Structure formats: C-alpha cells, structure tokens
Amino acid sequence: MGGSSEENAEDLSDDAVVCFCQKVTKKDIVDAAKEKDCVTMADIKRCTTAGSGCGGCVLNTGFVPKIMKLALEECGKKAFTGISPSCPFTRQELFEIIKVKELKTYEEVVE
C-alpha cells in the first residue's frame, strides 16, 4: 500500500498504514493536516515522519499527499504546492520562468 495508490485514498480505513517504513497510518496524516496545521509535505514529514524512510509514500503516486489534500479540503484549506512560502511556484514552474526570462544569477531570480 504505502508507495502505491491502486486503491482510492478515501476508501482506506483510518488504521491503514500508508508509510510502511515509519508505520504511519492514514489517521496520523489526517490528524497532522487537521489538528497540527500541516499544509506541505515537509510539514507532514516533520509531524509524522512519513516519507523519511524510502520516500515512496510521499511521491505523487503515494497515498500521503492524496490523504493530506483530502484532509485539508475537508477543513476548507488548500495544500501548499510551491517550493517554499516565499516561492509559490513548483520546481518545474520556476525552471520555466528562469528559462523564459533567461535569468542567470540568484539575485535575478529572487527579484
């Protein structure tokens, strides 16, 4: 189960283990998102240790990001998908911006 999502994340029971390396359950992820205000995968990793083993469960194909997204949506929140709070773009989006604008230095990127 952990790194594969052939099943639907919504259909998992609360005690279903979604990170086998760290024995993290669906409920652990839901509680972190709802009660500890975890809105990024880094937050989830810090609060639950999910993904700190092989990392398969936190990939887009794993259950952890899907469970986090569902839990946040239930609270009326949105999962943060940017690189950091100061950079709201994904890595791919940032790469494209740098490429299109032909930015060469760090200073040019952060301006």
Q: In this structure, are residues 18 and 64 in contact, taking their beta carbons and an 8 Å threshold?
A: yes
Helices (H) and strands (E) in the chain, counts: 5, 2
Rounded to two decimals, the pTM is 0.70
CA distance 92 to 73: 24
CA distance 44 to 100: 33
Q: In this structure, are residues 1 and 63 in contact, taking their beta carbons and an 8 Å threshold?
A: yes
Spell out the per-residue pLDDT of the chain, length 111, in tens.
444 444 688 899 999 999 999 999 999 999 999 999 898 888 999 999 999 999 889 887 889 999 999 999 998 887 776 776 677 777 888 888 899 999 999 899 888
